[in-house]
A and B are shown apart, each in its own frame.
Chain A
Amino acid sequence: MTHRRDRTLFTSGLARVEGEGAMYVRVDGSTVEEVRLDIYEPPRFFEAFLRGRSYTEPPDITARVCGICPVAYQTSACLAIEDACGARVDGAIADLRRLLYCGEWIGSHALHIYMLHAPDFLGFPGVVEMAAEHREIVERGLALRGAGNAIMELLGGRSIHPVNVRVGGFYRAPSPAELAPLAQQLRSALPLAVDTVRWVAGFDFPDFTCPHELLALADPGRYPIERGTLATSGGLAFTAAEFEQHITEEQVPHSTALHARLAGNGRGSDGRYLTGPLARYTLNAGSLPPLATQAAAEAGLGPDCRNPFRSIIVRAVEIVCAIEEALRLIDGYHPPAKPAVAVTARAATGYGVSEAPRGVLYHRYEIDADGIIRSARIVPPTSQNQRAIEDDLLRFVQDRLDLDDSQLTSVCEQAIRNYDPCISCATHFLDLRVDRR
């Protein structure tokens, strides 16, 4: 236990790039005065990069924003461009879009649950140490990740930065015969997903509640994934075109990332809100497919979930949901006459939202009559969550001031992992330390 009056914790190792993801906690006596989370945001560069490019390019360019959720960027981009051009994508093409997105959810959630989050609850430093003692469990995670990648590879052409997505649909639609082995792989993965829910439901969770407004998509009759309108736990409902009327962004001195606020928030929490698995589940639990509903009930999830540590259960339930949905879509699949609808450029502004694994992802494009992009705006889920994460961390630290600095830093990092923030996902290089003796 420390008896120092003033304490400052600083963690810079949140990202591969030093200084691009950092956490700062300032404590005065027995009061936490400030928590800052500095997260570097790749989308801001892409907004500028897109200006002057053709309206057909955003799906390929914005896929490069994130190696883990490229389909989210591609889908929100397609929706926004199609909205601007007055094109409507439905039927089998829309089903393929949802199927591809299911692959991303399965892969992203399996990666987070098994490779990052579960070791925290089981007391392992990381997945490597967990694999040494629980090889069969980690193999299960890799099998689920593989099932998600298989969808991405078949529909997207490859699992990273898919190349088969275009404005209006796809370059090529698969045949039912090509989908048959994928369905077999998904049927094998479904019990693994249910086992995952049971496994994570048995973890010990700190008693913690996030009080923030929740924001998620709503898609009548089904769990929101690749399309929808917006809804909040406070009762607001609006369309993608109205997003910027309700969500404002502002610069803050300590971060390169813009902070988002929900205007007219009735909870008196200064516009803080949370998007992502907790919001999706709490606002849409009644729309889960049957097996996911049953798994959630067995796991003890009630009608809502506001404990960020239990987000690991929600992610596991969403894997079940995504596999159920993928199988339903494959079973009912009839190839479209053409893999894409024609999308003709016109001078207009379009808006698109979808549910990335980490939450609502908003795109807006202004294009001219020649199809040239005049402006672009991308609001990723992590920047929307940043203020809520900081507020959660402040209250979390306040209740744990008896820990020494090292322990406190460690539990703060675990708490951040609840949200799986998209930190510096546009950069991937190694750190090399030269130790000369």
Chain B
Amino acid sequence: MTAAEAEGRAVVIGVGNEFRRDDGAGLAVVARLRGHLPDDVCLLVSDGEPTRLIEAWAGAPVAVIVDAVRAEPAVPGRLHRLVLHRAGAAVAPPASSHGLGLDCAIGLAQALDRMPGRLILHAVEVADVGQGTGLTPAVAATIDTLAAAVLVDLDSPRRHPA
């Protein structure tokens, strides 16, 4: 049983790596939210590895993921909000266990009945994921907006209970 399941807590998960510039956006949002969330919300960081994501969100009434995305065509700093009910179209398995990601986590969680009550993804399109620390200006400018959007998602079930 996960901590979230044991306590019925919502969970916010920032996914990424702060040593690959804009890939650290999810972690920056988690850092921004620290100290500003109710006690009943778990705040976590993750590298996106599926079994850890499933362990983090299983049993949670709501899980909010914050991640960086590549897009074609790209508009760095553009935000996306997706409510995820199922995995995307099947993709070929990666060559390495390092390549397993969020899509695999959702598909596996569905197969094993370990999806959270609601799964929401906030994503920001990246400009630079090269080696180094620090976000590019376009992505850094979105962190406050993303943090606020996460708070809205966490708060909405309280205002509008099912």
Contacts and interface: CB of A to CB of B under 8 A. Distances in A.
B71 A16 contact: no
Contacts of A149: 51-52, 55
Interface string B100-112: 1111100110111
A413 B92 contact: yes
B20 A125 contact: no
B108 A429 contact: no
Interface stretch (B4-12, B35-43, B122-130, B147-155): B122-130
A418 to B, nearest CB: 10
A425 B123 contact: no
B92 A132 contact: no
Given A111-B97, A430-B123, A127 B69 contact: no
B157 interface: no
Contacts, number: 170
A423 B99 contact: yes
A431 B129 CA distance: 13
Contact of B94 (A15, A159, A432, A433): A15
B96 A420 contact: yes
Contacts of B23: 427-429
B108 A430 contact: no
B60 interface: no
Nearest to A418: B95
Nearest to B22: A429
A416 B112 CA distance: 28
Interface stretch (A134-142, A223-231, A288-296, A340-348): A134-142
A157 interface: no
Secondary structure call for the B interface = mixed
B97 A127 contact: no
Residue in A16, A108, A112, A433 whose Cβ sees the most chain B Cβ within 10 Å: A16
Nearest to B73: A434
A430 B51 contact: no
A21 B95 contact: yes
Interface string B73-115: 1000000100000010010111111111111100110111000
A426 B20 contact: yes
Contacts of A139: 112
A145 interface: yes
A340 B160 CA distance: 52
A424 B102 contact: no
B154 to A, nearest CB: 22
Interface residues of B, number: 51
Nearest to A128: B107
A111 B108 contact: no
Contact of B108 (A128, A425, A428, A431): A128
A138 B112 contact: yes
A432 B95 contact: no
B20 A427 contact: yes
A145 B112 CA distance: 15
A142 B97 contact: no
Residue in A112, A132, A159, A432 whose Cβ sees the most chain B Cβ within 10 Å: A432
A67 B50 CA distance: 12
B70 A131 contact: no
Interface string A41-52: 010011001000
A427 B95 contact: no
Nearest to A39: B96
Interface in A112-144: 112, 115-116, 119-120, 125-129, 131-132, 135, 138-139, 142
Given A16-B101, A111-B51, A128-B108, A45 B90 contact: no
Given A131-B112, A428-B15, A111 B49 contact: yes
Contacts of B72: 432-434
A274 interface: no
B51 A142 contact: yes
Interface in B1-36: 15-20, 23
B136 interface: no
Contacts of B49: 67-68, 111, 160
B99 A14 contact: yes
Interface string A233-254: 0000000000000000000000
Nearest to B100: A115
A156 interface: no
B19 A116 contact: no
Interface string A176-193: 000000000000000000
21 contacts: A16-B94, A21-B96, A64-B18, A66-B98, A68-B98, A108-B97, A111-B51, A126-B90, A127-B93, A128-B110, A128-B111, A142-B112, A160-B52, A417-B96, A423-B94, A428-B17, A428-B101, A429-B67, A429-B68, A430-B102, A430-B123
Interface of A: 13-17, 21, 23, 42, 45-46, 49, 64, 66-68, 108, 111-112, 115-116, 119-120, 125-129, 131-132, 135, 138-139, 142, 145-146, 149, 159-160, 413, 416-417, 420-434
Query: Considering the complex of A and B, which 9 residue pairs feature the smallest CB-CB distances, nearest first?
Result: A67-B47, A128-B107, A131-B111, A45-B131, A428-B48, A425-B98, A429-B68, A432-B69, A14-B95
Given A128-B107, A420-B97, 4 more contacts: A68-B98, A127-B100, A129-B90, A429-B67
Interface of B: 15-20, 23, 45-52, 54-55, 67-73, 80, 87, 90, 92-104, 107-108, 110-112, 123, 125-126, 129, 131-132
